[in-house]
Amino acid sequence: MARLFSVLRAALRSMKSVSIGSRRAAGWSASLLVLCLLLAQLLPAHSVQATPLQQADEPAADDAETAETAETKANQLYLPLISSGGGEQVDAEQSLMAASVDQQTLLYTKYQYSRWSNPAGHFYLQMSGCGLLTLCSIQSNASVANMSLTDYATASVTGLSLFSSVNKSAWADLEQTAAAGDYAGWLISNVNLSDLSLFRNSYLRTYLNGTLQEQRTISTLLDWGLINNSDGGQNVSFRTTKSFNRVEIAFDSKTLGLNLFNNIYFYYAFAARMNDRDGDAIPDSLDDDLDGDGLSNSVEACVVPSSLNYEFYNSSPSGMTVSNIPTTGALGTGLATNFDVDALQRQWTPHDAGSYSVRYSGTINVPYEGLFTFYLNTEGGSALWVDDILVVNNDGWHGFQERMGNFYLTPGYHDIRILFFKYVQGNGFTVAVSEQNFPKQPVPFGLFISCDQEIDSDGDGFPNYKDWDSDNDAIPDSVEARLQ
């Protein structure tokens, strides 16, 4: 290469030093002859011709799935809601931090590639437009479609494209047809993503059985870095609206000097699919319940186990009905770990025990399916709702009395709301439950979940439910929940 540039410099000096007239013409001719001979010796062949697309056989599905052991139906309602974790949680966090952050924060996973035991006919790689002072070469063409995902083809340009732009393009067939909505892309490297504006004439295209389906300009793609990648390089991709089984990428500089000493490494073409961790056909990026446990992501971000949210009002409602207990302007709010309304009254109105109202709200984790009976025994009005359905109505101003209601519940999380008010006398308030597998008993607070929206684990001024990374470890909470 050093010898090449030495000759080029000598040739250019000879062009400049030749005098006017016939000596100038003779000098130019001699210099151009030297350059042409030199380039003819050094330029390798730089294209691979494609054969018609061959459809790959669909890979056999793996039916050997591990069967999960069925859990024995619980005979008691006293079941743990959330494990404290202890040392296991510390180990999990350490393992998570040791993992590649880039791999854990992405929304899409590659699931098929341009990978063939015999790549012939399944790829095409070429360069065109190499100018007089530009050397172009391609090495390891078939690497874009062989079985390996870690090797690559190299498209090299040496020199300046003074008279024309240089185009580098490659396509490769996927192992099978990808569905509309999947991401189509290429893994490449040695390209500075900050220079996307230089690739205004560069494209990513999809084909189905050789017919063009869609095209995107690379400089406009916003999906860099969204797709899981462990092979190095960068993913260039876009979300499709049509099915495809071939992906093409083309870089065209159209810019003077861009091709100086420029190499691009082409690894493989791929299709990627949105992650759906709970298999509910809702992509994680759109799923409000990533783990499919019935508890929304926003609630899980502010979960406090074994508690309920409460609002304490220093008055009884108008009309002596729980329906008129206010929803704003509470004297006190917080988290309750029991139904001791006397304690709340002493906390917020120690010198006024005459009249007050309390609203409890949160989530109950039902351990198994069944017909549950809820009981409210109160002196003063009360009512209980599950999933916004009134289950127990013990409303009105009255002395001690018990009311009950039946409600069929499925396993998992359900909203619960309990209202109570006192007027002048009486403080009695108990909440109980029974089911055919256990007798009547106080509802264990271990089944309740509250949401403390003021929790700010990393102290960054954003409460957890609004903070995408509540522990400030550079791994989104939605991803950490996925790994638990």
pLDDT at 321: 94
Exposed, middle or buried: residue 203 (CB in 10 Å: 0-12, 13-18, 19+)?
A: middle
User: 235 forms bridges with which residues in the sheet?
Assistant: 187
pLDDT at 251: 82
Return the amino acid letter for 150. Answer: T
pLDDT at 405: 97
In order along its 484 residues, the chain shows pLDDT tens digits of: 444 434 344 434 443 343 333 444 444 344 433 344 344 344 433 333 332 323 333 333 333 333 333 332 222 232 222 222 233 332 322 322 222 223 334 567 888 999 999 999 999 998 887 766 667 888 999 999 999 998 999 988 776 655 566 788 899 999 999 999 889 999 988 876 555 555 567 899 999 999 999 999 887 775 555 676 666 678 888 889 999 999 999 887 654 444 444 788 999 999 998 777 777 777 676 677 776 777 777 777 778 889 999 999 999 999 999 999 999 999 999 999 999 998 999 999 998 888 999 999 999 999 889 999 999 998 889 999 999 999 999 999 888 899 999 999 999 889 999 999 988 766 678 999 999 888 999 999 999 999 877 777 778 877 766 666 777 776 666 566 554 4
Q: Rounded to an integer, what distance in angstroms lies between the CA atom of residue 398 and that of residue 426?
A: 9
CA separation (Å) from 199 to 129, 218, 220, 250?
16, 6, 9, 9
Exposure of 454 in the CB half-sphere (CA atoms within 13 A): 4
pTM of this prediction exceeds 0.85: no
Nearest alpha-carbon partner for 199 in 268, 249, 133: 249
Exposure of 456 in the CB half-sphere (CA atoms within 13 A): 6
pLDDT at 466: 65
Nearest alpha-carbon partner for 132 in 30, 23, 48, 37: 37
pLDDT at 475: 66
Structure-token pair, residue 416: 């619960």
